[in-house]
Structure 1
Amino acid sequence: MRAESLTVEAYREENTGNRSCLAWFAIGLCACFLFYKYVLQVSPSVMTADLMQAFSVHGAGLGNLAATFFYSYLIIQIFSGPLLDRFGARYIGSLALLVSALGTLLFAHADQLLWAEVGRALMGVGVAFATVTYLKVAATWFDAKRFAFLSGLVPTAVMIGAVFGQVPLAHVVSSEGWRRSLELCAILGVVFAALFLLFVRDKANAQPAAQQTRKVGWQDIINVLKRPANWLLTLYSGLAFAPLAVFAGLWGNPFLVTSYHLTTTEAASLTSLVFIGLGVGGPVFGALADYFGKRSFWMFLGGFMTLVSVLFLLYCPGLHNTVLSILMFLFGFGTSAFMLGFAMAKDMNSLLLAGTVVAMVNTGDAILGAVTEPLVGYALDLGWRGKELNHTPVFATQDYVHAFSLLPVYLVLSLVFLFWITKMMKKENLVNS
């Protein structure tokens, strides 16, 4: 039976068998899209010296180059939800994967900074649809009771992609060079796009008949934007996730190399623990929230765990490798609780607008990532004492600590916004949140 032709009755009846296989296969391909997104997002972290040398940039320049990904991501993210709600995941997702693969190929062959920025921007354009596509498919193919758990699996896909973008990619960069490594990433994107086009189908969930046929209009989108709680969740999400994106996605590796005298590969292995913690914590927090309710409690717990971990990492130098590894894991584990914010957002808005709401909340990650990566790079340049190695600036441990001091501030603010959101939702009697 084709997915497009499934009726509401068939959807309700087919909880196993063909329907279950279709649903899990679709969500699996969406997870591959997320995997690919984070391979591309964190890839500069294992080629920082190569990129600074190739394009003759320092800390702020590299931060801006990496953040170009977030600039375009941010712009497209605004439109990704409405586009998916209106046209479905199959063709939009396939096209998005192709665009990101094209951007990766352009970046790999760039010999000028401008073309590298264009390539990096195209990567951001394509992968801006990844998280929204996953959560849109989860909302329309699966029972609402599973949504927190399924959204908790997003960090698992992120973890696999980000870990692949650390140690394995670092080995490929060492042996093949950064350009050839990105060419292979581009080929992977084309393969995922083909699979997406062939196997993902758009299907109405078991919603009221009026919602199945009604198209998303501008008034629906305006109603989403008018809700203060949606904006607070957007700010919370960005503040909670930005420290991980900045530390593990770009500047953490050189910090570990400098502070603990590690090789790039050894530092990448430690950074991978952040993403492993993220991948483990996502389904754990999702399952706990589904079983016990009170999502905000688990979000507070995760945020506090992240804050403590970051404070120890930054302000307790000379940590033993075992303690350092545990803190890196807890950094990611605690951060994963922020994904419960998407379940909160879905509960507060119509299922018809799942893509739009998810895109709005996810915009917070892009905004804070786009601002913070170059800001940290600029702070590093301010403390730089002129030391270079192979025409590449070398920063001291204290420079990194000063630049990273912004991260605990973000985490404290995220907890403040979460407290505010919780008070608002109690007034609306959304008890599960």
Structure 2
Amino acid sequence: MNSSSKIPWRVWAIWGLGATFFLYAFLQRVATSVMVPDLMAAFDVGASALGGLSAIYFYAYMAVQLPTGILASYWGPGRLLSTAALLSAAGGFIFATADSFFIAIIGKLLVGTGAGFGFVSTLRFAAVFFPAERMALLSGMTMMMGMAGGVIGQAPLAILVANNGWRTTMVGVATFSVFVACLIWLLADDQKLEFTGGKIQSPRISKVLTRALIKTQTWIIAGYGFFIVTTMFVFSGLWGVPYLVQIHKFSLPEAAFSASLILIGWGLMAPLMGWLSDRFRRRKPALVISALGSFATITPAVYVPELEPFTIKTLLLMNGISISGMAVCFTAAREHNDTASTGTTLALVNLSVIAAGAIMQPITGWLLDIGWSSTMFEGARIYSPETFQSAFITLPSSAFLALILALCVKETHAKQLDANV
């Protein structure tokens, strides 16, 4: 199977549905950012608690990454995706109807658990059913779908929340996941599909884990993934909207749209970055350029005072374009490991990426609360420009650390380097 024209339509359809589930997962990932004042008022909590609520999604997401890689190899990624979508939908309904902060946490936990299977299962499906030379492109296209979900979870979701309330809106989001789950279940039968590598390999779990864990390059690339996405998770995913509303006096829809420009830039550029990486058979340049661009754009966006709205939006868009090279790190990690460890390797890198949200969102919220001067408005906390700038030290410092790690990545020249340690 050497060309896309010979790939069965069902394979494309299931990959597309998997990518659509990742769109939903990413929407859930950033949705809290447009509901900050609503959730603070509904549950009577501050930035630290709200950051913790948002991070619960990431904790659950992280917890299932290694099981995802293993289960996708044993059970098949298609059936795993449909089950995960239903679980996430159940959590979405619980969150939307929660009458206490504790119940909201349970809902977010289930949403993150189900959503955690989406990205790795979709990439695992692509690795099995598509030619290897298309992996970076498909990774980028899957990322693009995720970024589309992030964009929908910003300004469009903010408008829906403003018009219908956050509870009704999130019920609708959960219903969408049920629809996706049903379609995947109807189409997915991994054992009846024609795939590129014979049969889905089922090596011993201990061997799979050991092979992936002993590779130094796997850990370097995973660390890179952690730091390069911090801007997206911290700024676009949660704290950027209140920052733009409170400090730059944007309206909520305008702030949500501006924060989503990081996702728009990322989503538009990720497939192209993947294609260029495949075309020139180079992985390292994309990683280095991404880190440099992220540092150069996010630093002035949060530390230069009295910027014009157009300048802020341009910097955020350029930041998203810059960090789109992160999509290549999944392909680079895969090429530094043997083919039998593909699912586990992808899961390890994705776990590290998600850990950025789980760790950096609540840390930033904690820093905000440390500098809070007890100012409130309609039940929500108001923070000063100095407080935001102190809390946002997580952004440029993470980009700088990503650059250091990118320089330590060994170039694979788009070849499987099973012997590298």
Normalized against structure 2, the TM-score is what?
Answer: 0.94
Change (3 A) 1:212 1:172: closer
- Which amino acid in 2 is paired with 1:16? S
Tell me the alpha carbon deviations over residues 144-203 of structure 1, each in whole angstroms, 9 at most, x when there is no partner.
111111111122112210111111111110011001111111111100110111113324
- Which amino acid in 2 is paired with 1:109? T
2:89 paired with 1:91: no
Distance across 2 between alignment mates of 1:361 and 1:190:
28
Distance across 1 between alignment mates of 2:189 and 2:268:
29
Distance across 1 between alignment mates of 2:321 and 2:151:
14
- Which amino acid in 1 is paired with 2:189? R
Change (3 A) 1:110 1:292: same
2:20 paired with 1:16: no
Distance across 1 between alignment mates of 2:400 and 2:189:
41
Shift of 1:272: 1.8
Distance across 2 between alignment mates of 1:343 and 1:148:
6
Tell me the alpha carbon deviations over residues 384-420 of structure 1, each in whole angstroms, 9 at most, x when there is no partner.
1111011221111221111011111111111111212
1:4 corresponds in structure 2 to none
Equivalent residue in structure 1 for 2:67, among 79, 85, 109: 79
SS in 2 for 1:422: coil
Number of residue pairs matched by the alignment: 416
Which is further off, 75-84 or 248-257?
A: 75-84
Shift of 1:383: 0.6
Change (3 A) 1:343 1:387: same
Distance across 2 between alignment mates of 1:287 and 1:396:
43
Equivalent residue in structure 2 for 1:239, among 220, 224, 227: 227
Matches within 5 A, 1:24-423: 24-202=12-190, 203=193, 205-207=195-197, 212=200, 214-422=202-410
Contact 2:34–2:241, Cα closer than 8 Å, also in 1: yes
Which stretches in structure 2 are left out of the alignment for 5+ residues?
none
- Which amino acid in 2 is paired with 1:338? M
SS in 1 for 2:373: coil
Distance across 1 between alignment mates of 2:207 and 2:254:
52
Contact 1:139–1:351, Cα closer than 8 Å, also in 2: no
Change (3 A) 1:324 1:212: closer
SS in 1 for 2:409: helix
Contact 2:201–2:340, Cα closer than 8 Å, also in 1: no
Tell me the alpha carbon deviations over residues 259-291 of structure 1, each in whole angstroms, 9 at most, x when there is no partner.
211111110111121111011110121111111
Distance across 2 between alignment mates of 1:356 and 1:406:
29
Tell me the alpha carbon deviations over residues 103-130 of structure 1, each in whole angstroms, 9 at most, x when there is no partner.
1110111111111111111111001111
Change (3 A) 1:104 1:67: same
Shift of 1:102: 0.6
Tell me the alpha carbon deviations over residues 305-351 of structure 1, each in whole angstroms, 9 at most, x when there is no partner.
11111111011122222222211111111111011011111112233
Distance across 2 between alignment mates of 1:213 and 1:333:
36
- Which amino acid in 2 is paired with 1:118? I
Tell me the alpha carbon deviations over residues 48-102 of structure 1, each in whole angstroms, 9 at most, x when there is no partner.
0000111111110110011011111111112111111111112211111011111
Distance across 2 between alignment mates of 1:320 and 1:82:
49
Shift of 1:23: 2.5
Distance across 1 between alignment mates of 2:204 and 2:195:
15
Distance across 1 between alignment mates of 2:201 and 2:30:
40
Which is further off, 225-234 or 30-39?
A: 225-234
Distance across 2 between alignment mates of 1:34 and 1:53:
30
Distance across 2 between alignment mates of 1:38 and 1:216:
32
RMSD of the TM alignment (CA)? 2.0
Change (3 A) 1:273 1:139: same
* Percent identical: 31
Shift of 1:204: 6.3
- Which amino acid in 1 is paired with 2:21? F
Distance across 2 between alignment mates of 1:13 and 1:429:
18
Change (3 A) 1:417 1:204: farther
Contact 1:102–1:122, Cα closer than 8 Å, also in 2: yes
Q: Which has the higher helix share?
A: 1
Distance across 1 between alignment mates of 2:379 and 2:244:
20
SS in 1 for 2:410: helix
Which is further off, 66-75 or 345-354?
A: 345-354
Distance across 1 between alignment mates of 2:260 and 2:235:
11
Change (3 A) 1:93 1:326: same
Change (3 A) 1:319 1:350: same
Normalized against structure 1, the TM-score is what?
Answer: 0.92
Change (3 A) 1:223 1:204: farther
Shift of 1:20: 3.9
Change (3 A) 1:270 1:13: closer
Distance across 1 between alignment mates of 2:264 and 2:379:
34
SS in 2 for 1:262: coil
Shift of 1:429: 9.5
